[in-house]
Structure formats: structure tokens, C-alpha cells
Amino acid sequence: METTSERNTATFTHLSTLTQYFIPFGNYIFPILIWTSYKDKSEFVNHHGKQTLNFQLSLLLYTLILALIAIPIFITVFLRNIPMEAFWNDEEMLIKNFDFQGNIGLLSIGATAVVLFGVLKFVEFFLVIYASIKTSNGELYKYPLTIPFIR
């Protein structure tokens, strides 16, 4: 049976990942600090700290894969269209000589990777909130699609 203090600490471990929106790498720093401080004192906090860090590391891996797909595609398409002309006309930017036809397949793959990244961040936010609620109720929670880096 977990104490209220253990449940609150484990819940705060999940919620601390949301600091990424205010502090760079806060989604790694704060959960690591909380988890290492309490992992020997409580098996409940240890479980949730591992789950939180594994989920964040998995998301980092998925994000890197999506970036490795999207960025080279967009750079390739841009470099293929270097002779394009861009100029300002009456407060509007006009682009001439940009060929979408030869690049529509690549652009759709790159756009799909960008959309998947957006979906990933959206799902991450709600899963963190859901995990926090489950944890505050004293339940053990495992994030879906998480690679167990820390066992």
C-alpha cells in the first residue's frame, strides 16, 4: 500500500515532464532528479520514475527518426529548386520557378513526418496527464509504445 506522499511524488514525476514547454530538457532533468532521490525509498516511485524516463527517451528516439526523414527531404527539394526566384511584391512574397510536380512524392513523405511529430507531441501531453491521474489513484501505469531503456 502506497502512502499519500509516495503517490504525490510519483505523480509529480510524471507531471514534471511538462516542464519541457518552459525549460529546455526539463522533461529529462526533473524526472531524473525526482527518481534518483526517491528510487531507493519507494518501489512505487521507482516504477513510475522508470516509466516516465523510458517514455521520454522513447519519444526522443521517435522524434529523431521523424527528423531524419523530414529534414533531408525538405533540404533536397529546396536544393533541387535553387533557380527559383523569391521577391516581395506589395507586402506579399512571391515565389517563381518552384517545381512541385517533380517533388510531390517527397514533399508528401516529409509532410507526413511533420504531421506525425505533431500527433506525437499531442498524444504525449494527454498520456502524461492520464498517467498522472492513474498514479495519483495509486495504480501502476505503463506508457504504451515505450522502449524499456531503464529496467
State residue 62's pLDDT score: 96
State residue 17's pLDDT score: 95
Q: pLDDT tens-digit profile of 9-68? A: 999 999 999 999 999 999 999 999 999 999 999 999 999 999 999 999 999 999 999 999
Q: pLDDT tens-digit profile of 84-135? A: 555 666 667 666 666 667 777 888 888 999 999 999 999 999 999 999 999 9
C-beta of residue 26 within 8 angstroms of C-beta of residue 12: no
C-beta of residue 123 within 8 angstroms of C-beta of residue 72: no
Contacts of 29 (CB under 8 A, 6+ apart): 19, 23
Burial 60-72 (b: 16+ CB within 10 A, else e): eebeeebeebbee
Cα dist from 14 to 50, 123, 130, whole Å: 10, 14, 9
The set of cell numbers assigned to 112 is 507526413
Q: Rg of the Cα trace of the chain? A: 21
